């Protein structure tokens, strides 16, 4: 697990005006405050860049792609290989081109999903440092999971059905080396049980009262050690108390009130990679 969470670069993308009316959402009609969404996003980007020292590559927003801020879904990067995704939502397929360009410029080995029967969203791919879990969801299918397993042959890849959320990582992420952050809903707990049954590895778990809060961003930086970007106490007071008990962490609350209305979590807004890997 040495090096887990170590990152040199973050790819992010701006928020188009079209997000408020055009981004996909599973439910709800509450309006998105675009100005507030941009302020929150700027804080997120500044935290990764000026705050934590990552080199941030910010792609411009594309008005024709309302969900384009959610770059995580467009690629899975592990080591020096980037698997470009084939998003399950047709309206999101065009997002991959800009990601391909920037990851190519970074010198990564690029693999594309050619099979037109496959769908794969990065938000369904959880890398624990030891293995991959692929959420089979409305966005990611069996064929997509098979292709990921073929590309990242050095690691075990297990598939887990996701219900009750957009993506696997909507309620299940890594909060540290060997530490799984998981929501409390029946859907989230069932996923965790299935993952534990399939895995040869043992993980600690950090159970959050709120599923959405279980989507957090873990980094290990040379200067600050364990760092966790997590949702704020204003948004999720009970979950913030759980985060507050983590020892030896730099905890950074990051508000995400607006993008959450269109099913975006904290991990959704970046592709993190380590060029030195």
Active-site pick, 167, 226, 230, 269? 167
CB of 184 to ligand GLY, least distance (A): 23
Please indicate whether residue 167 is annotated as part of the active site: yes
CB of 87 to ligand GLY, least distance (A): 7
Active-site pick, 68, 216, 268, 269? 268
CB of 165 to ligand GLY, least distance (A): 11
Measured from the CB atom, is 92 or 159 closer to ligand GLY?
92
What's the farthest any 2 CA atoms get from each other in the chain? 46
Place of tokens 């030891």: 130
Please indicate whether residue 201 is annotated as part of the active site: no
Measured from the CB atom, is 89 or 246 closer to ligand GLY?
89
Contacting positions for ligand GLY (CB under 6 A): 23-25, 67, 70, 89, 92, 166, 262-264
Measured from the CB atom, is 40 or 67 closer to ligand GLY?
67
**CA 264 to CA 270: how far, in whole Å?**
11
Measured from the CB atom, is 67 or 235 closer to ligand GLY?
67
CB of 16 to ligand GLY, least distance (A): 12
- Name the residue number minimizing CB distance to ligand GLY: 24
Which residues are part of the catalytic machinery?
167, 268
């Amino acid at each position: 697990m040495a090096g887990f969470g170590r990152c040199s670069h973050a790819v992010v993308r701006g928020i188009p005006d079209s997000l408020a009316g055009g981004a996909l959402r599973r439910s709800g009609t509450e309006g998105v405050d675009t100005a507030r969404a941009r302020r929150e996003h700027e804080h997120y980007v500044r935290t990764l860049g000026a705050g934590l020292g990552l080199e941030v590559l910010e792609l411009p927003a594309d008005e024709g792609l309302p969900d384009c801020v959610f770059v995580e879904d467009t690629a899975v990067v592990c080591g020096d290989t980037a698997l470009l995704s084939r998003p399950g939502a047709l309206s999101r397929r065009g997002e991959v081109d800009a990601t391909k360009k920037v990851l190519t410029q970074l010198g990564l080995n690029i693999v594309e999903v050619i099979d037109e029967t496959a769908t794969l969203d990065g938000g369904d791919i959880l890398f624990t440092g030891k293995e991959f879990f692929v959420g089979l969801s409305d966005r990611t299918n069996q064929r997509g999971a098979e292709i990921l397993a073929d590309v990242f042959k050095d690691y075990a890849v297990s598939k887990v059905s996701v219900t009750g959320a957009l993506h696997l990582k909507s309620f299940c992420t890594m909060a540290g080396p060997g530490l799984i952050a998981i929501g409390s809903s029946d859907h989230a707990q069932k996923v965790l049980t299935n993952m534990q049954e399939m895995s040869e590895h043992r993980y600690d778990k950090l159970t959050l009262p709120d599923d959405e809060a279980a989507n957090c961003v873990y980094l290990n930086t040379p200067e600050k050690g364990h760092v966790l970007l997590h949702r704020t106490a204003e948004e999720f007071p009970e979950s913030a108390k759980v985060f507050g008990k983590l020892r030896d962490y730099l905890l950074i609350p990051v508000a995400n009130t607006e993008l959450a209305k269109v099913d975006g979590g904290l991990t959704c807004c970046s592709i993190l990679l380590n060029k030195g890997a």
